[in-house]
Amino acid sequence: MESIVRGGTRWRRFAVVMVPSVAATAAIGVALAQGALAASFSVSGQEFKVHADTLNGTGFIQYGAVDVQHGGTAQPVAVSAFKSATITGLCQSVVLPKIPLVGDVTLRLTAGNNGKKVKATNLYIDLNQLNADATFYDINIGVAAGDSQKGPGVAAGDKADPGSFAQEADRAVLTNVDQTAWATSAGTFKLAGLSMSVKKGSGSGVECY
């Protein structure tokens, strides 16, 4: 996996909404045997979609940051992080657009189905859109990012202002999660029942949603 660099920012006034989420990278299948993924990287500049039936996470924090795309373009994101997370019904899809002689191609990954569960530790997700039903336990809104005691802390390479706005909770339970994200990283990411496919086309019926 390539060595990567995240961009930093001063986000004292970044109005992060309380929308924690879960994602898997398009290359996660290659990284499974490694047991750890890099926590700091530049992003491809391409969003991907993720659906999860349920996410049960402990040790949650969310703060504002900037991902630097390959080539130097900055993308503001909300970073949602969990010390540990258990996920069911995980689906991730990314579209490779306008391939010559083929057209759009969608890479799709699924895991955690038929009674199996996806498990992650020190999970960080850089997102810009999420829809879900959510319940938070012992939540604190408006804490300083550098002072959070509940989550795994600001990711290495995220040069967020330690006094910037953040939110934390002991536990978060989300259902019917649909999100778009730019990147994700984890200390460990175990995908039980992993299945990957490559299909022509994009949109409804091919992507996760």
Q: pLDDT (tens digit, 9 = 90+) per residue, 114-164?
A: 999 999 999 999 998 999 999 999 999 999 888 889 999 888 777 567 788
**CA gap 166, 40 in Å, rounded:** 20
Residue 98, judged by CB atoms within 10 A of its CB (0-12, 13-18, 19+), counts as exposed
Q: Is residue 194 very low, low, confident or very high in pLDDT (cuts 50, 70, 90)?
A: very high
183, 25 in Cβ contact below 8 A? Answer: yes
Per-domain residue ranges for the chain? Answer: 28-154+164-200
Which DSSP state fits 93? E
Q: What is the pTM of this model?
A: 0.80
Q: Could you read off the pLDDT of 152-172 as tens digits, one per residue?
A: 988 877 756 778 889 999 999
Total H helices, total E strands in the chain: 1, 8
84, 120 in Cβ contact below 8 A? Answer: yes
